Structure formats: structure tokens, C-alpha cells
Chain A
């Protein structure tokens, strides 16, 4: 079993940080949470992640691990006795990694694009692309879960964490723009999965409520406006 200090550099509103928190909780590891402020990066962050200068950074025995998906795999490798995060079968693992990559490189960037788009027409155009992605994810979920509650089977796993961590922000954006991104009629299985994921014991105290995230978003933009004037 891995020993040594475990520190997590992050902010509680970051879904990428939430991923690491969930994974550590699955392994019953309690990190020391070092709060970063988004506008002023600490010396520790710049030293630990010189390439991207971003959170989350996991410090295990003071050694830094960066990039949330890399950190999730690291946690699984380092604490093998806890419940598995990634599937044990190499093919299932490759499929999980494929969809994680799709979510982070295609799907979520579209959600961010939607948030930044100005005007109903521009937003609707991006929403159409997101909806295509939603159908792919719904199909993938049905194929992967093999009739069970989560992507990971009976309990949450890698893909549940990767997609589930983003849902807080997706719902916050839905609130702010008063437009539905996740349509339950078109993705019924994922809609049910969403409820199960958010109420799971490991997850529920970690993913912030959408209302709180919407509030942070408003405050952050007010702050940015004030400092740029």
C-alpha cells in the first residue's frame, strides 16, 4: 500500500480537481487540500506544474503528478488494494480511455464553446453539435454498462468520474443560459445514471451544486471586469 504525504493543489469548483477528490475518496485516502486562487498562481503550483501551470496537481511524497486523467490512473496504480477505478480487462480499459479522451477533447470543449457563444442562434448551432455527442455518449453508456448502474459496473469507475465530474458545470451553464444541454428524452439512460452518480456516497459531498457554480461564474466575471478596467 502506498504511504507518504498526499497533497492536492486545486479549487473546489474545478471539475478536474473534483475528479481527483472522488478517486482518492474511493481509495479512502484523505489528501491535504491546498487551495489555489485562479487569478494568482502560487510558487508551489508553478514549481509543480511548470509545463501547464494548471490545477489539479497531486503531490505524493512531494512528487508532482499533473493532468487529471494521468492522476486518476496514478491513483489506481498506487493504491491497488482499494476498489478499482479502471477496468481490469485491457480491452475494456482501452474503451474507457477512448471515451474519456472524447469527453475531454471533443464534448466538454463544445460545452465551453456553448457557454461563450453570444446570442441564441450561435448557441443553438453549438448545441446541435453537443446533442450529436450526447447521443454517442448515451449509446456508449448502454454498451459499456452491460445492464448495470454505472459505466464501471455496480460501482462508479473511471468513466463515471470523468463524465460525472463535469455535470455540475453543465447544469450551471443550463441555468445561466436557460437552455437544456442534457435532454432526458434523448438520453434517458444517462439521465438516470446522472441521478445515481450525483447521489452516490463517494460523490455527493464533492461535486458542488450547480447554483453555487453559477454564482462563482458570475463573481469571477465581475472580478475580471473590475481588474481589467
Chain B
């Protein structure tokens, strides 16, 4: 493992990139981070992810692993002696995979629609978003983390979105704390971990980034 070359092709506000940052930090893996300019994608990115041309891409000893959930699982298997993310019990593993998939299928889109739409469409997106948070709160139950006593697969998959909440709340005009206080308690608990705190960008920077995107897309 000492001679491993690990490179992460990333983009600072990406909640998908954050997943890999956290997983690699939890496993104490040394890696080189390369920041991509998504308006001018590097030849390396296009070579390593020719199908989707997207970040994040994990490059392990020259071999690319694309799609963030798949890459987190890969990291968990390869560096298995530290901080296990997926549980060992098959049923618990299936639950973790189910919720990670739910986050990708439902949660990301509803959040995105809050800052890219207006009026009725935006109101519907807000409702969907809060509904998703409540479903996730249900899945969390009384546990401190989705992973139980420690940060697990679903926590890693989800927490990056928290850095975007200030932007969602600003444009959607709502308070997550008021709607889903349990979710916010969970998020703040995750933020106490070094691996998470160091992997998430400042929420005000994210808001500024969203402002620029809205101007670019003509939403303002």
C-alpha cells in the first residue's frame, strides 16, 4: 500500500467529490488532488472518464474508477483495515446501498431544482426536498449516524449536500432547522469529524458559486 499512487480529479463545490475526499480521509490515504475547470476539461479527465466526462474520478495506480458511490465502495474494499464504511451484515449492506442510491436518484435533483427554478416549480421542488429529508430522517431513526455509532457509507454519501443547504435555503426561502431539526443535528454531528470538516467547502463560498451559476444560466 505504501507505493500506491492515488489521484483524485475533483471540483471544489461538488458534493460527489466530497464523498471521495471524506472516504480517503477516513482511511488516511495519501492522495494528490487535481482541481478541474469544468468549462475546460483536462485531457486526463477526458481520458479517464470518456463515457461521462465528469468528476470525481479516482485514479488508483493509473486505473480510473468513475461514479462517486462506486468509488467510495472501491475505497472501502481496498483500504479495508481502517474505518469500515459499509457494514458486514448483508441486509445492512443492502440498506446502505439502497439509501445511497436514493440520495442520487431523488435528493440531488430536488435540491438542484430549488435554485434553478422559480414560482410554482420552485415551490414543488421545495416540497420534494423537505419530503426527501423527512424520509432520510426516518431511515436514520435514533442512531447517531446512518452507519450506527460511527460514520458510515450513507453518512459519507449524504453529508456533502449540507454545504449546499445555505444556498438552497437562501433561494428557496426556508429553514432546514425549522423543517427537519433531526437532520441538522445529524449534519452538525458529522461536521465534528475532521475528515468531514476538512472536505466540505464553506457554505458562503457555495452560495457565491450558485449566484454565478444563476447569472450564467439567466435565472436571476
A residues neighboring B (CB under 8 Å): 2, 51, 60, 63, 65-67, 69-71, 73-74, 77-78, 90-91, 93-94, 97-98, 101-102, 136
Whole-angstrom distance between the alpha carbons of A51 and B103 in the complex?
Answer: 12
Q: Do the beta carbons of A91 and B67 come within 8 Å of each other?
A: no
Asked, given contacts A74-B94, A77-B90, A78-B90, whether A94 binds B51 with beta carbons under 8 Å apart, the answer is no
Neighbour of B135 across the interface among A51, A67, A74, CB < 8 A? A51
Asked, given contacts A65-B91, A78-B90, whether A91 binds B98 with beta carbons under 8 Å apart, the answer is no
Neighbour of B67 across the interface among A77, A90, A93, A97, CB < 8 A? A97
Residues of A within 8 A of B66 (CB): 98
Residues of A within 8 A of B209 (CB): none
Q: Do the beta carbons of B70 and A77 come within 8 Å of each other?
A: no
Q: Do the beta carbons of B74 and A67 come within 8 Å of each other?
A: no
- Which of chain B's residues has its CB closest to A99's CB? B51
Whole-angstrom distance between the alpha carbons of A8 and B196 in the complex?
Answer: 39
- Which of chain A's residues has its CB closest to B76's CB? A90
**Secondary structure class of chain B's binding surface, majority of residues:** helix
Q: Do the beta carbons of A91 and B97 come within 8 Å of each other?
A: no
Determine if B73 is an interface residue (Cβ-Cβ < 8 Å): yes
B residues neighboring A (CB under 8 Å): 51, 60, 63, 65-67, 70-71, 73-74, 77-78, 90-91, 93-94, 97-98, 101-102, 135
Whole-angstrom distance between the alpha carbons of A192 and B97 in the complex?
Answer: 33
Asked, given contacts A70-B101, A97-B67, whether A102 binds B51 with beta carbons under 8 Å apart, the answer is yes
Residues of B within 8 A of A102 (CB): 51
Starting from the known contacts A93-B77, A101-B70, 9 additional A-B residue pairs (CB-CB under 8 Å) come to: A65-B91, A66-B98, A73-B97, A74-B91, A74-B94, A90-B78, A94-B70, A98-B67, A136-B51
11 A-B residue pairings within 8 Å (CB atoms): A65-B91, A65-B94, A65-B98, A70-B97, A73-B97, A74-B91, A77-B94, A90-B77, A91-B65, A91-B74, A98-B70
Whole-angstrom distance between the alpha carbons of A41 and B97 in the complex?
Answer: 25
Residues of B within 8 A of A101 (CB): 67, 70
Residues of B within 8 A of A94 (CB): 65, 70-71, 73-74
Whole-angstrom distance between the alpha carbons of A73 and B98 in the complex?
Answer: 11
Whole-angstrom distance between the alpha carbons of A136 and B49 in the complex?
Answer: 12
Residues of B within 8 A of A77 (CB): 90, 93-94
Whole-angstrom distance between the alpha carbons of A51 and B99 in the complex?
Answer: 10
Minimum Cβ distance to chain A for residue B158 (Å): 15
Residues of B within 8 A of A70 (CB): 94, 97-98, 101
Whole-angstrom distance between the alpha carbons of A212 and B65 in the complex?
Answer: 39
Minimum Cβ distance to chain A for residue B4 (Å): 13
Neighbour of B73 across the interface among A63, A78, A97, A136, CB < 8 A? A97
Asked, given contacts A67-B98, A94-B65, whether A74 binds B90 with beta carbons under 8 Å apart, the answer is yes
Q: Do the beta carbons of B97 and A90 come within 8 Å of each other?
A: no
Minimum Cβ distance to chain B for residue A140 (Å): 9
- Which of chain B's residues has its CB closest to A63's CB? B91
Residues of A within 8 A of B65 (CB): 91, 94, 98
